[in-house]
Structure 1
Amino acid sequence: MPETLDAIDARILELIQNDAGLSVAEIAERVGLSSSPCWRRIKRLEDTGIIQRRVTILDREKLGLSFEVYCTVKLALPTKDNLDAFDQAISGMPEVVQCATVTGSADYELRIVTRDMPAFDAFLREELLSLGLVSNIESRIVIRSVKNTTAAPLGLITPHVPG
């Protein structure tokens, strides 16, 4: 059962997911609470696992990591052991920034970030295909990112998150 959130909780989450560097005092001021009750709410949201962690989002392009590819992966034999082996292998590949098991004719959808086409080719050959588990990969190179957010759509769980 999902955690019950009120409008203040939702506003706190909205603020934190847009700027994890805000101090408790800044958050409290923006939601109309004093620091102690605001801190208790944030702590509860962390303790219940709604807030999993706070991160810094880097500009990949400025770091030279602007080559992004979506790959649909089909395993040769999708047994439990092979799925588990693939899951474990993927978790150790830093180029894979997202991985999901999916329905349909494929087994996985991967989002891969790397420097350029030669680096992507090396990743495919030396990492993904060397596992010996994959029968098919369909790759789609991202030309331009239209929307890229880590924010959860909080408006879907509360009637209105005041801005």
Structure 2
Amino acid sequence: MTDLDDIDRKLVLALAADATQSAGALGRTLGLSQPATWRRIRRLYDTGIIKGRKLDLDAEKLGFGVTVFLGVKLATKGRVSLEDFERAVVAIPEVQTVEHVLGMYDYRLRVTARDISDFERVLRRRIMTLPAVGNVEANVLLSEEQRPGPLQDA
């Protein structure tokens, strides 16, 4: 674990809230010069604390009104079936995240679709035909709240 001082924590929180802020603007907020702020940001990237920036899209406005979380239990377990499943599932464009988990299911998938019938098509034609798929449980997302994460209180 990399040690963060108070300024690093404030910098991470500010970037988490708005990653488009310039080093100069962040520095003015934190009482640092632009070069000092940039060096801190670069160090956060170099140590892997900041892994990148991502674009937050509104799936519904893009025509994808349904999000479903799938719990997938593989029918057969073993290194080969895990790798085959992972390779196949990441190739499905509607699958937004693939998480290998411990518990009742082996994987948790986040799937977006235009509507329920589109989701059914993805489920039947793409997901259920994947290598080693056994049981699948679907949970439809009703609402979502973004949380700031553990650094807020740190």
**Could you say which TM-score interval applies, normalised by the shorter chain?**
over 0.9
Q: Offset at 1:35?
A: 0.2
Q: Tell me, in whole angstroms, the C-alpha distance in 1 between the residues paired with 2:20 and 2:93.
A: 25
Percent identity between matched residues is 36
- Aligned partner of 2:43: which letter? R
Aligned length: 154
Q: Residue 63 of structure 1 corresponds to which residue in structure 2?
A: 62
Residue by residue, what CA displacement relative to the aligned partner does 1:115-148 show, whole Å, maximum 9, x if unpaired? 1112111111221112231111110112222x13
Residue aligned with 1:131, SS: coil
Q: Residue 21 of structure 1 corresponds to which residue in structure 2?
A: 20
Residue aligned with 1:40, SS: helix
Q: Tell me, in whole angstroms, the C-alpha distance in 2 between the residues paired with 1:93 and 1:115.
A: 15
Q: Tell me, in whole angstroms, the C-alpha distance in 1 between the residues paired with 2:137 and 2:151.
A: 33
Is contact 2:81–2:131 with CA below 8 Å preserved after alignment?
A: no
Matched, 1:127 2:143: no
Residue by residue, what CA displacement relative to the aligned partner does 1:19-49 show, whole Å, maximum 9, x if unpaired? 1111111111111101000000000001111
- Aligned partner of 2:97: which letter? Q
Give the CA RMSD over aligned residues: 1.5
Q: Residue 48 of structure 1 corresponds to which residue in structure 2?
A: 47
Larger RCO of the pair (alpha carbons < 8 Å, separation 6+): 1
Q: Residue 10 of structure 2 corresponds to which residue in structure 1?
A: 11
Matched, 1:155 2:152: yes
Is contact 2:66–2:141 with CA below 8 Å preserved after alignment?
A: yes
Is contact 1:20–1:56 with CA below 8 Å preserved after alignment?
A: no
Q: Tell me, in whole angstroms, the C-alpha distance in 1 between the residues paired with 2:14 and 2:88.
A: 35
Runs of 4+ in structure 1 off by over 3 angstroms are none
- Aligned partner of 1:21: which letter? T
Q: Offset at 1:17?
A: 1.0
Q: Tell me, in whole angstroms, the C-alpha distance in 2 between the residues paired with 1:8 and 1:28.
A: 10
Q: Offset at 1:91?
A: 2.0
Q: Residue 117 of structure 2 corresponds to which residue in structure 1?
A: 118
- Is the deviation greater in 45-54 or in 97-106? 97-106
